[in-house]
Amino acid sequence: MKAELTIQLAHGGGGRLSRDLIQSEIVSRFGNGPLEGLPDAATIPWHCDKLLFTTDSYVVQPIEFPGGNIGDLAVHGTVNDLCVCGGRPKWLSVGLILEEGLPLATLRKVLDSMKKAAADCGITVVTGDTKVVGAGQSDGLYINTSGIAEAIKGFSLSPARITKGDDVIVSGNLADHGFAVLAARKNINISSALKSDTAPVHRLVQALEPFAGEIKFMRDPTRGGLSAVLNEIVENRNINIQLNETDIPFSTCVKALSETLGIDPLHVASEGRIVLICSSQVTDQILHTWKSMPEGFGAQSIGVVDSGKGRVTIKTITGGIRIVDVPRGELLPRIC
């Protein structure tokens, strides 16, 4: 019984235990106001204006992986949290926790990646902090990034607006990040070039401005993957989400790894993708817009919202229907 009274890895996995911990310990204490509903970023009034504010710590292991490292991941992750809440990222803070003995060359490589990523996203690093802990009291390097964005006018994002008939769209292949980190950690030799999808989504979001009013929800499917995002939406609502397995874009390599390792790719993180729910009348326009952009060429409509009892289901390739549940344990700790 004692294990239940301590923190477990699964508390950080983005699944059921994570949500329980956040609800019972964080929301119960701080949850009146912008924190309520746990959006990726808080929208706060600022005089006659609105700004968005978010924070994330990054503890990914290994620090470097195919397609990126903890530095660009830490910039993209916070930029993306701001973007999917309808923000135009402006200002970034960087908090470093360094372990004694970390090679300076590693730190430099990570900071170079952060600089490049921030420049690409048009976000400015304006404040920072550096702490050092003794050897064995950290695991190389942890990074916190917090970010401020201005609200893009026209968006009115709220899961409460989602209704029967809406479409579910993703901006590209899912789960590349999680499997790339897993492969790097386990030294799995991937002959094909599976890389993390870590990337900023700011251009994808800014391109949506003409349809902003018809978009009801956006999120980047990180810890817990697509299944965690969609289950959170339908929870305690009279709606279902029905996915079509044939429409969900996965790379060949992700499909092969997921079969070999027995890991459901619907539970695995992406770090440069958007899950979007919109009125069906703008679906074609959004797909057309995204598919014309390098970061959105793999966009797909993957399912629909129906009335129901708060379930996410998937129509499998063989024609069956199964329930898509939230990941419960922790398959991939320290994925971001």
CA 193 to mean position of chain CA atoms? 22
Contact between 18 and a copy of itself per CB under 8 A: yes
Residue 120: phi and psi, rounded to 5, are -65, -35
CB of 228 closer than 8 Å to CB of 15: yes
Of residues 56 and 245, the one with the C-beta less far from a copy of itself: 56
Total binding residues toward a copy of itself, as defined by CB under 8 A: 77
Of residues 89 and 172, the one with the C-beta less far from a copy of itself: 89
* Shortest reach from residue 219's CB to a copy of itself, in Å: 14
Count other C-beta atoms under 10 Å from residue 135's C-beta. Answer: 9
Q: For residues 108-167, which are near a copy of itself according to CB under 8 A?
A: 108, 111-112, 114-115, 118, 124-134, 136-139, 142, 144, 146, 148
Q: For residues 51-110, which are near a copy of itself according to CB under 8 A?
A: 51, 53-59, 61, 90-91, 93-105, 107-108
First-to-last alpha carbon distance for the chain, in angstroms, is 29
**DSSP code string of 231-260:** HHHHTTSSEEEEEEGGGS---HHHHHHHHH
Q: For residues 236-255, which are near a copy of itself according to CB under 8 A?
A: none
Which of 5, 260, 309, 319 binds a copy of itself (CB under 8 A)? It is: 5
Three-class secondary structure of residue 184 per DSSP:
helix
Two structure tokens written together for 278: 């919109």
Contact between 313 and a copy of itself per CB under 8 A: no
Of residues 4 and 191, the one with the C-beta less far from a copy of itself: 4
Contact between 42 and a copy of itself per CB under 8 A: yes
Contact between 23 and a copy of itself per CB under 8 A: no
* Shortest reach from residue 206's CB to a copy of itself, in Å: 19
Q: What is the DSSP pairing of strand 300-307 with strand 42-46?
A: unpaired
Q: From 32-40, 240-248, 269-277, 279-287, give the range in contact with a copy of itself by CB under 8 A.
A: 32-40
Which helix (H) or strand (E) segment holds residue 99: the answer is strand 87-99
Which residue is listed with tokens 């390097």?
141
